[in-house]
Structures are given as C-alpha cells and as structure tokens.
Structure 1
Amino acid sequence: MSTTAADPTGTGPSLGEPTEAPPASPPTRPPLGRRALTGLSFTNIGAVYVWIVIIVVFSFWAPDTFPTWQTFQQVLNSNAVTGLVALSVVPPLAARVFDLSIAYTMSLTGVITAKVIISTDIGAGGAIALAMGTALVIGVINGIVVVTLRVDSFIATLATGSLIQAFITMFTDGTSITGVKLLREPFASIGQKSAGGFTIPVLYLLVVATALWFVLEHTASGRRLYATGFNSDAARLQGVPTDRLRFLTLVASSAIAGCAGVVFASQIGSGSPEAGTPYLLSSYAAAFVGATQLRAGRFNSWGTVIAILLLGTGTVGLGLATSAQWAPSLFTGLVLIVALVVTGGRLGLRTRLTRRRAPRKEAA
C-alpha cells in the first residue's frame, strides 16, 4: 500500500492514510457484429466462398448428377483418407518442416497389414500394431536425420521415402497383396463400415482434426510449435525446445500417415504398393490452402478440412461433368499454385514481423 502527504486543501487523505489505486479498466472487445463480419470475411474463410462458387458452377454444369445428397456423401467418403494424409503434414509444416515420406509410409503400413493378415494367424489387431510400430520407427528415423544430423527436411524425407519404396517393392514384388481374409471382419469394418451413408473414415477424419486443433490452438506445445515455425531462432532464445518439437512432429506425421494406410487397405480390401503416391500432391495442396483459412498464415486442422472439401468437390464435380482424366490433376495443381502464392506472402509477412520483435542476443 502507498501513502501520500496531507492535502493542503484538507480534502485529501491525511499523512499515512492508505490510498487505493484506481481499478484497471477491463479490456474492451470489438462489438459482436464486427467480430462476426471479421470471421465471415473473404480473408478469413475465402475457401468457403470459393467452395460455394464451385458448387453453383457444377450444379449448372451437371444438373442431373451433381446437386444431390449422394454427391455430398461421395465427396466426404472418397476424400476422408485424403484428409487424413493432409492432416498428417500439418504438424511438421507448422514447425517449418517438410515430410515427403508420408505417401510411402502410407503404402508401407497398408502392405504390411495386408501381408501379415494373409500370411499369419495373429489377426487384424496384431497386424495393425506391427504396421503402426513400423510407421513410428520411420518417424523416428526422419527425426534423427532431420533434427540430429541437420539434413534439410525436404531432401531427407524424400530420400527416406525412396528407401521405403525400395523396401515395399522388395516386399511385394510390385504387386498388390490380396486375399479373402482382408474382406472379412473385423478388418473390413475399419474402412468400410458406414452409418447414414457416411463411411467410418469420415469419423476418423473429424477425430484427428479435432485432436490437432486442440493441441495446436489450446496447449502450450501448440503455441511453441507455431513459434518454432515463425522464427526458430527467436523461439530458441525464449527457451522453446525447437529441436524436440520438430522431432515429435515428424513422428506424429508418420503415425497419422500410417493410420491412413491401414484405413485405405481396409477400404479397398488389399495392400497396394503404390497406394500413397496419388495422395502426396493433394495432401500438400489441402494443407497450404488450409493455411489461408481461419488462422491466416498458420497451418491448421480445420482450414485443412475446408480445403479437402473444396478440392474434393472440384474433383468429384469434374468426374461427373467431364470424362477427361487430366482435369482433376489440373484443378489440384492450379489450386496448389494459388495457395502457395497466398500462403507464402502471409507467412513471409508474419515472419518479418516476428523477427522485428525478437529479442536480440546480447554480445558476450
């Protein structure tokens, strides 16, 4: 408590009488209407408006087949695995790390699961456990190469993926692993069970997206992960364990990609040695488009889900409206280029602002 001298006018507190500091005014929040306009602005959820435009275009282009409830179910069901793979790259990208081995990890877990179920009697549970253990080992290897050995993540994970693909080819002789056991319960229900017209992988997508959202947005680890991605040097000076976080993101990425591989093998009833390859471009396209949504400049889970819906609607619509096989790839590539331009500008601006505010290391 503070004291003041007596007020000469006699109206103030006398000597030694305690005085109270004026109460701090509570922080003011913008009006609800302004917050709603900000949340619904094109800058915040531009992909949603683009998605609506795409729906309208295809509704006129293919009016007999596109604007139906079955088409909406098809968009979700056919892109649930794509969404899982896209979510697998969100944690490493948030830390400015690339993991290009996810497609190969997905393929490997699928063929391991199928091979073990076909060739042994340990059951689906044991096969999935072995496949997921392999995925975690791949994540650890990626972490050692990228974090410990300081190899650029783009080159390191590309090399790891090449090694994984070589092992897959040796393991399968380049042919898919099929068998009646893969079509039976309980393995078949992992990817084929449905409710209300939606397959269970849609539920997996929502669960993983929710878990990533909670970790990234509502935990200290998530804030430190974003800080690592924006400016690793400044984060390290603040005591953030940047190397540990990058290591863990690569392990998490492999684990989610491994789950996607098991689910996909259950969906198609076989283990394909090339299962993950088509998902690499679309997953990164979705992640970069997602970084322009909701949390502009940040790779986030729900923005990625929005991007999956946008990309999925475009590819399904093109499939219904035209028979050109090149159209979906063209659409995905164009979306990725636009997303890279927009995301790169926002990430660059945020990085420059963060570096200006970063504390400078004092000279020794």
Structure 2
Amino acid sequence: MRSTVPTFLPPLSTLGPLIALLAACAFFASQSDRFLSSQNFSLILQQVMVVGIIAIGQTLIILTAGIDLSCGMAMALGSVIMTKFAVDLGMNPYLAIGCGIAVTVLIGFINGALVTSIKLPAFIVTLGTMNIAFAVTQLYSQAQTVTGLPETMGFFGNTFQLGQATFTYGTVLMLGMYVLTWLYLRETAPGRHLYAVGNNPEAARLTGIATNKVLLGVYMIAGMCYGIAALMSVARMGVGDPQGGQTDNLDSITAVVLGGTSLFGGRGSIMGTLVGVLIVGVFRNGLTLMGVSSVYQILVTGILVILAVATDQLTHKKG
C-alpha cells in the first residue's frame, strides 16, 4: 500500500514540530517587529548553540530508551577542566581542550558501563553521576570562575558576517554536527543498530547485534558531545563557569521530546531534535522581545514538554 504522504516531505515525527516552529515564528512576528530580522535569528542560533550540541548526545541516548540527567554537569566539569588546565597549569590549549573532552567521555563511559554491566536504570545512574560531577566541579574550581583564557579557546565564539546577520563559528559547528549525526543514523549500520536496540533490545540481541557495545558506545559518543558543548560554552562566555549547565539536562530533554523523539526509544530523528531546540530558542527569544518575565518563559517551556510527552504516550498506546 502506497503512503499518502509525498516523499519530499519530512517524516511525520519531524513535520509536526516543524509546523509548531513555523506557527510560533508567525505568532512572535505579529507581536514584535524585531523578531523576523536576520540579526535576531542569528542571535537565537547563538543562544541555543550549547544546548543544541548537548541535545545531540541526549537524542542518541533517548533513542535507546535511556535518559541522561548528567549531561549539564558533565559539560560544566569539562569546561572547568579545560580552562583550569590551560590557565593554572599552563598546558597547551589544544591539549587542555582534549583533556576536558576526555573527562566528559569518561563520564559517558561510566554511565554506559553501569547501565550495561549492572543493568541499573539510566535515570538512577545519571542522577548519581550528575551529583558527582557537580561536586567535583565545585571542589576543583573552588566555585570560582576561570578567567584569563588563551585566545584559542574563544575561536568558536568569533563571528563572521553573512548578509545582514552575524554568526559565530560555533553555530556552524553545531549545524555541521547535526548533519553528520543524521548521516550516521541514516546511512550506517551502527546507526540502524541504535534504533533496533531502542525498539526491542532482546530482538536486536537475537539478530546478532551486540546490544551492550551499542549502548556503551552511545553513552561515550554522548559524552564527547558534552565535551564539545563545554568548549562552545567557554568560547561563548569567555570563561570557565562552574555554575553553568545546571538546567541544560532538562533543556536538552525538552528539545528532544519536542522534536518528536519517543521516550520509549526506537523512534525519532536528529533533525527533529534540531527543530525542538529551535522551538525552545524561539519561544524564549520571542517572549523576551514581548517583555515577558523569565519565570513565565520557564512556565511555557514546562507546558510544552508536558504536551509533547503526553502526545508521545498517546501515540505509543495507539501503536
């Protein structure tokens, strides 16, 4: 039986969030003359750059029916490690960046190892590593912001002109990572295995897929994404901030769910996550332009994620 949906349209899981994004843009454009400016759109991309990269790792984990609450704190620890190593120890900036990313990959490895070897729930494991990462960050940094960074660490915060808008190199990297992840999930065997494990891990195991290796690899790739996000945070803020990342876990989960990825695993798309990230960014930017208090912005975000999860739940039951 042929599908009634034209082949040139995005998947339905992405089409719904895309329509929601366009509707939000239309609403805020009617409320503020500044919203549709190219400069404002570039500002939205800069504001979601860090969470957008974290959400890539979060998407991969949620596709396997897991979840990662430690992502924000892992990112904060990575940023403190790379900045303090460069400033306090005088380490080569590139090596310091590598050390910071290595730490976040290690956190991903620990998460994945505990989930696969001891069969602990991902929620509990990552809740524990979130608190550990937070404590280590505060102790190592003494809760002090790291300043005086080498120029190399600020590269991705540098801007270039495109038409009337100014973009950072970090936003280009973020978009490039989404394209690469889309190709990985769509065109490679490991990417397809990831969906299979999330859909039915026992069936995947019986077909010869090494499910534990897939899960461990996913958590480590996610850890690498958090390390890159740490570098983006350092580049954007110009400091190593031990207080950063405290809401990024919820923001990334919100973006993933709004983008149509199922919390039950096995269903979703990385481009849907990008749309979800933009929805969160557009709502916060639009409400700011309207002069709405940040408390109400958080309220709206909470309502959006509840609606998205409820839709996912109803769709899962119907399926």
> d(CA) in 1 for partners of 2:46 and 2:270?
18
Give the Å deviation of 1:297.
6.8
Change (3 A) 1:42 1:241: closer
- Is the CA contact (8 Å cut-off) linking 1:291 and 1:303 kept in structure 2? yes
Aligned to 1:60: 30
The RMSD of aligned alpha carbons is: 2.2
The aligned amino acid for 1:192 is N
Pairs aligned (count): 314
Give the Å deviation of 1:347.
4.2
Give the Å deviation of 1:190.
2.6
Deviation string for 1:62-83 (max 9, x for gaps)? 23x2221211111111111111
Aligned residue runs from structure 1 range 271-290, under 5 A: 271-290=240-259
> d(CA) in 1 for partners of 2:117 and 2:110?
10
Change (3 A) 1:228 1:347: farther
Residue from 99, 117, 121 that aligns with 2:86: 117
Deviation string for 1:244-264 (max 9, x for gaps)? 111111111111011101110
Aligned to 2:294: 325
Aligned residue runs from structure 1 range 1-364, under 5 A: 34-36=4-6, 39=9, 44-63=14-33, 65-179=34-148, 182=149, 184-196=150-162, 197-291=166-260, 298-348=267-317
Largest Rg, 1 or 2: 1
- Is the CA contact (8 Å cut-off) linking 1:83 and 1:305 kept in structure 2? yes
Runs of 5+ unmatched residues, structure 2: none
- Is the CA contact (8 Å cut-off) linking 2:49 and 2:232 kept in structure 1? no
Runs of 5+ unmatched residues, structure 1: 1-27, 351-364
Moved more, 188-197 or 317-326: 188-197
The aligned amino acid for 2:141 is T
Identity %: 26
Higher relative contact order (CA 8 A, sep 6+): 2
Deviation string for 1:79-107 (max 9, x for gaps)? 11111011111111111111111111100
Give the Å deviation of 1:138.
1.1
Partner of 2:209: helix, strand, or coil?
A: coil
Name the TM-score, length of structure 2 as normaliser. Answer: 0.92
Runs of 4+ in structure 1 over 3 Å off: 40-44, 345-350
- Is the CA contact (8 Å cut-off) linking 1:297 and 1:343 kept in structure 2? no
Give the Å deviation of 1:306.
1.0
The aligned amino acid for 2:30 is F
The aligned amino acid for 1:47 is P
> d(CA) in 2 for partners of 1:178 and 1:319?
29
